[in-house]
Amino acid sequence: MKYDYSALEIAFTEAKKWLNEIDNRPVNSTLTYDELKEKIKIPLNKSSISSSEVVTHIIESTKGGLLGNAGGRFFAWVVGGALPSALASDWLVSSWDQNSALYACSPATSIMEAAAGEWLLEILDLPRESSIAFTTGCQLAHFTCLSAARNRVLKDVGWFVSKDGLFGAPPIKVITSQQRHGSVDRAVRYLGLGNKSLSAIKTNAHGEIILSEFEKSLGSSKGPVIVVLDAADLNIAAYDSFSELIPIAKQHGAWVHVDGAFGLFARANPQKKHLTEGIELADSWATDAHKWLNVPFDCGFAIIKDRDSHREAMTIQASYIASDKVARDQIDWNPEWSRRARGVPVYAALRELGKEGLSDLIARTCGYCKMIVEEIGKLPGAEIVWVSELNQGLVRFKDLKPNAKDKDHDIKTQKIIDAVNESGVAFFSPTTWENNLAMRVSVVNWRTNDNDVKKTVEVFRKLLLK
């Protein structure tokens, strides 16, 4: 039987067109909800239609409703693009359609993921004995790491979660930062610890946990403790003081976990690595590949030094699973059962960049962030709130009328962000910093270049000099 694969040709042609034109297409979505809904929410057909008709409709109906975040002028949130080899290998992963839960189901991708994991430990310079899970993102990496943490700190006091569950277990205190990402709260909730278990420590003017407050919280803990530190926070790229905090936490028998969604990759650049000093003393690290490593969504890593605790928290021993003892079965380390081989695009991205290319990417994007913040900051009414050593910065726009208040500046800031986004030239998002609205500048995309920076600053210049 001959199958019709013309839908793949259509998708390939469109993908090339999309990527080739991304620099000249509006970065924002240009259609309204109603306009998109009308094209997309159609009645489901009764009888079958050809696959090429389906794909053509998907291409046509989404036009005007997609963001240009794969391009070089998207600076909202922390969203990377996809390196060509990572994207191409992602297509292959879908075409091969392997269930990479077990070595037996996909020997080659299993070894490829294992190799990518070893390279990661090398470039992030983390304890080489650590185990790695390839999760859907940092959220599930937190979940995986903190599952191991929860089970281990309870085991240390004689409580076995896998067998006994959590009802009646000694309460765990989760000491973390005021600046933590919401995914930490969500992971704590997933794990049945409840957000009441969180003790959020005040941060200093640099967004770092205040040592004395940290010691106070640890000192008042009676039971098991998990500490979650930042590397780096999403507003100002603040890193907690790992070399100071981790040894103290260890003295109290705490498990230390690090949220390094993007900031862990500072370790891949010799000039930025110092920001993470002492981070290797932690027990687990969560990070993303779909941010600074520029692989397609969805891919993150849970890295855990105590392999036994990791495996114990995630493994499933079902008799029908054909386990090859020599090779790695991802099902033993990941929260999912069936899964795509999301480590293959990681393998590709790491090879395409090489150690030097990744280091250059980190340096280049950090440099562009600084440049954008500083150039916008020179314009009338613009104020630099923060320019970090990494890839995050904050800018605020002042209402220049006499006696303008913070509220007026917030309104002005939002107006400028909206106007830039509507221009389609670049895209930014707002955030709240010290109770005021600010515009975040976040640069992680491999495509961002000098021209993107020039075009971006120009659009602010036109708006602010109007």
Q: How far is the CB of 435 from ligand PLP (least distance, A)?
A: 21
**Calpha distance 35→370 (Å, rounded):** 38
Nearest residue (beta carbon) to ligand PLP: 137
Cα separation of 289 and 262, whole Å? Answer: 8
Residues between 267 and 306 with contacts to ligand PLP, criterion CB under 6 A: 288, 300
- Identify residues 183-212 at the interface with ligand PLP (CB under 6 A): 183
Q: What is the DSSP letter of 265?
A: G
Cβ at position 4, least distance to ligand PLP in Å: 36
Place of tokens 């395409």: 352
Least distance from ligand PLP to the Cβ atom of residue 41, Å: 27
Of residues 118-147, which lie at the interface with ligand PLP (CB under 6 A)?
137-139
Residues in contact with 167: Cβ distance below 8 Å, sequence separation at least 6, in sequence order:
none
In the list 22, 27, 70, 78, the residue contacting ligand PLP (rule: CB under 6 A) is 78
Instruction: Note whether 245 binds ligand PLP by CB under 6 A.
Output: no
Coil, strand or helix: which one is 46?
coil
DSSP 282: S
Q: Minimal distance in Å, beta carbon 108 to ligand PLP?
A: 26
For ligand PLP, the closer CB: 68 or 260: 260
Least distance between ligand PLP and beta carbon 9 (Å): 32
* Residue 181 interacts with ligand PLP (CB under 6 A): yes or no: yes
Contacts 24+ apart (CB under 8 A), 241-245: 241/208, 241/209, 241/211, 241/278, 242/276, 242/277, 242/278, 242/279, 242/281, 242/282, 243/277, 243/278, 243/281, 244/211, 244/278, 245/209, 245/211, 245/214
Tell me: does residue 236 bind ligand PLP (CB under 6 A): no
Q: Are strands 436-442 and 300-304 parallel, antiparallel or unpaired?
A: unpaired
- In the bound state with ligand PLP, the residue whose beta carbon lies nearer, of 106 and 445, is 445
Closest to ligand PLP by CB, 161 vs 349, is 349
393 binds ligand PLP (CB under 6 A): no
Tokens of 285: 């690290």
C-alpha 307/C-alpha 93 separation (Å) is 27
Binding of ligand PLP at residue 234 (CB under 6 A)?
A: yes
Cβ-count burial of 436 within 10 angstroms (0-12 exposed, 13-18 middle, 19+ buried)?
middle
Does residue number 259 form part of the binding site for ligand PLP (CB under 6 A)? yes
Considering the complex, state which of residue 106 and residue 183 has its C-beta at the smaller distance from ligand PLP: 183
Give 103 or 386: the residue with its C-beta nearer to ligand PLP: 386
Which two three-digit tokens encode residue 393? 């910065």
What does the block give as tokens for 189? 């909730």
Shorter beta-carbon distance to ligand PLP: residue 301 or 397: 301
Closest CA to 443 of 378, 371, 382: 371
By the 8 A CB rule, do 229 and 281 touch? no
Told to check if 453 binds ligand PLP by CB under 6 A, we report: no
Residue 27 or 234 having the CB closest to ligand PLP = 234
Least separation in angstroms between CB 380 and ligand PLP: 31
261 binds ligand PLP (CB under 6 A): yes
- Closer by beta carbon to ligand PLP, 183 or else 269: 183
- The footprint of ligand PLP (CB under 6 A) covers 77-78, 137-139, 181, 183, 234, 259, 261, 288, 300
